[in-house]
C-alpha cells in the first residue's frame, strides 16, 4: 500500500498554481470594443443577456446554456453565450 503525505508546502504550491490558472482564465481587457473574457459569472451573464436569475436558471436546467460550477459559483463560457445569442437571432 502506497501512502503519500501532503505537506503544507505542497498545499501552498498547489494554491499558487490554482490561483494563477484561475487568473489566467479570468483576465480580459475591460475597455469597450476589446475582446471579452473567457469565463463569466452568473451576474455578468444576466447583465449581458438582460435576463433574470430565474431565466438563467432555466437556461441551465434545460441545457441551453452550459456552465461549470466551482465551489458555489457558476461560470459560463463567453463563446457559449455568443452561440446562444447568435442562435436566438437566427430563429425566425
Beta bridge partners, 68, equal 75
What is the 8-class DSSP label of residue 71?
T
Q: What are phi and psi of 81, to 5 degrees?
A: -65, -40
Mind listing the pLDDT tens digit for each residue in 22-79? 776 655 445 555 555 788 999 999 988 889 999 999 999 999 999 999 888 999 998 8
CATH class as words, domain 37-92: mainly alpha
Given a contact cutoff of 8 angstroms between Cβ atoms, the answer to whether 37 and 26 are in contact is yes
Is the pTM higher than 0.85? Answer: no
Beta bridge partners, 40, equal 76
Domain ranges of the chain: 37-92
Q: Which of 34, 23, 33, 39 is nearest to 80 (CA)?
A: 39
The pLDDT of residue 35 is 58
How many Cα atoms within 13 Å fall on the side-chain side of residue 28? 15
Amino acid at each position: 500500500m502506497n501512502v503519500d503525505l501532503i505537506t503544507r508546502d505542497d498545499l501552498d504550491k498547489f494554491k499558487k498554481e490554482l490561483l494563477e490558472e484561475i487568473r489566467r482564465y479570468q483576465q480580459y481587457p475591460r475597455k469597450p470594443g476589446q475582446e471579452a473574457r473567457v469565463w463569466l459569472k452568473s451576474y455578468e451573464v444576466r447583465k449581458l443577456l438582460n435576463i433574470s436569475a430565474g431565466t438563467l436558471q432555466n437556461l441551465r436546467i434545460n441545457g441551453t446554456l452550459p456552465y461549470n460550477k466551482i465551489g458555489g459559483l457558476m461560470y459560463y463560457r463567453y463563446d457559449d453565450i455568443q452561440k446562444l445569442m447568435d442562435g436566438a437571432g437566427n430563429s425566425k
